[in-house]
Amino acid sequence: MRGERTSRPLMSAQRTMSAQRADCADETSAPLFNLRQAAALLLLVLACSKPAPPPAPKREALPAPPTAAAAQELIANAPEFGDYQFTNAAFTFAQKKPVMSPLMLDGAKRLSAAKWIRLEGDEVVLTDKAKSDKRFLVRPNGFIDVVPLAKKEMIGVTSVKQQPDGLVLAEFSWKWMPNEIGSVLGQPSKGDQKATAKLMWDGTAWTVLGFI
């Protein structure tokens, strides 16, 4: 009986200590649980408060492409058209017959017949008419350039097509109009030619970007 009396208080004390430990564990884990909740809530708030990306800038609408008549006037007056195939309106020949190609020799004979040059033996001599003409350019390397032989003449624009990138392609035809020297040399060809101009809107007007 005495042993039972001794064990009962001991078991009661053990239960009390276990309950106290459980209470302490609950009190310790509660702040940790609340901290996790707060962190999750903070992340949620940050995600919801993130500013939306700015809208993409609107691409400015391009005006309607030029009419065929407007494109024709634009191309005909553009400096780029003056430079287009400019080297085809030039003739170069050597000042000495032995180094002339057949084409050079034929041109020299034509110029001699028209009194632009004289062929004295193997030498080419400019006449006074050629010396006073700025189209005859004597180079220090022994060659003579004659330029220009012609000017371009616009015939007409046949189509105007706007591309997805905003450029406009204008197809047109044109021809060379030889001057008196070009007529003597038979250069360049008088036949109609075709080309395509690339037109670009610069913000205020259509301009010629180049040719293809």
Element of type H or E holding 198 = strand 193-201
Burial (CB < 10 A; 0-12, 13-18, 19+), residue 176, is buried
Q: How far apart are CA 149 and CA 198, in angstroms?
A: 26
Contacts of 86 (CB under 8 A, 6+ apart): 148
For 141-193, give the DSSP string: TSEEEE--SEEEEEEEEEEEEE-TTS-EEEEEEEEEEE-HHHHHHT-S--S-E
Mean pLDDT of 108-129: 97
Span 174-209, pLDDT tens digits: 999 999 999 999 999 889 999 999 999 999 999 999
User: Are the beta carbons of 155 and 171 closer than 8 angstroms?
Assistant: no
Other CB atoms within 10 A of residue 144 CB: 20
Span 73-89, pLDDT tens digits: 999 999 999 999 999 99
Mean pLDDT value across the chain: 85
Span 52-73, pLDDT tens digits: 666 655 556 778 999 999 999 9
For 10-64, give the DSSP string: HHHHHHHHHHHHHHHHHHHHHHHHHHHHHHHHHHHHHHHHSPPPPPPPPPPPPPP
Residue 190 has a pLDDT of 84
The model's pTM is 0.67
For residue 135, the SS3 value is: coil
Residue 103 has a pLDDT of 96
Among residues 158, 196, 199, the alpha carbon closest in space to that of 64 is found at 199
Among residues 100, 124, 103, 101, the alpha carbon closest in space to that of 112 is found at 124
Mean pLDDT of 124-132: 97
Mean pLDDT of 118-128: 96
Residue 6 has a pLDDT of 47
Among residues 165, 163, 152, the alpha carbon closest in space to that of 192 is found at 152
Question: CA 104, 105, 106, 112: dihedral to nearest 10 degrees?
Answer: 110
Residue spans of the domains in the chain: they are 1-50, 68-211
